[in-house]
Amino acid sequence: ERTRKMLEQLQVERLVCYCGSCSNYLGNIWPKDHGIKLPFEVISLYEWLWEKLQAGELAIVRKFAKDIAISDSCYTSELGDKFYNAVRGLHEAAGMKTVELANNRVDSLCCGFAAGIRNNYDQSQVGVEAAKKLRQIMATGMKEVSVNCPGCWAGIGGAAKAAKADLSVKFAISEILWAFGDDAPGA
């Protein structure tokens, strides 16, 4: 209730959420499950950047030259094609050729992070779910995977470390913002 009251005071046409999960929660879960509809559109930073790039209002200033596996987070099925296309379009514009996992987009597997929350913070299922996702990532043959969710970054990163996998987990927005001219990823 406190968050709703604070957000409703904003005099904006759209709220751009840095986190896709927040975009989903405020833009989809609130209206569907709680009957709360904010008086403005809610979108993700990926969608906003993609719109600005396509409109010529922002430009890629430097590019990567690499292939990278792309891992969709479990909640993105509620964000739909606009979100998926923005994430993939930004990767491609930034010089990254994306390689899909066997389960992707609306059929994506959980990285394990949400399993720990969903099960009343019982962590026993986290590793099981993370291992499934990690197997699919490793099956691509890629040494890097791009994730668009902080939970996935932690979940897949932890699973890769536990499995001693030769895998670098990249937080997508950091690399995309670098391509737009921000500081080096991880800096």
Q: Is the pTM here over 0.85, yes or no?
A: yes
Instruction: List the chain pLDDT tens, one digit each, 187 residues.
Output: 899 899 989 999 999 999 888 999 999 999 999 999 999 999 999 999 999 999 999 999 999 999 999 999 988 889 999 999 999 999 999 999 999 999 999 999 888 877 777 777 777 778 888 899 999 999 999 999 999 988 889 889 989 999 999 999 999 999 999 999 998 665 4
DSSP alpha helix (H) spans, the chain: 2-8, 20-24, 45-54, 81-93, 113-118, 126-139, 150-162, 172-179
pLDDT of residue 187: 45
Exposed/middle/buried for residue 177 (C-beta within 10 Å: 0-12, 13-18, 19+): middle
Residue type, 103: N
Q: Cα–Cα–Cα angle for 114, 23, 14, nearest 5°?
A: 175
Kind of pairing, strands 14-17 and 41-44? parallel
* Inter-residue contact 136 to 101 (CB < 8 Å): yes
Give Cα separations from 38 to 4, 13, 77 (angstroms).
8, 10, 21
pLDDT of residue 47: 97
Residue type, 26: L
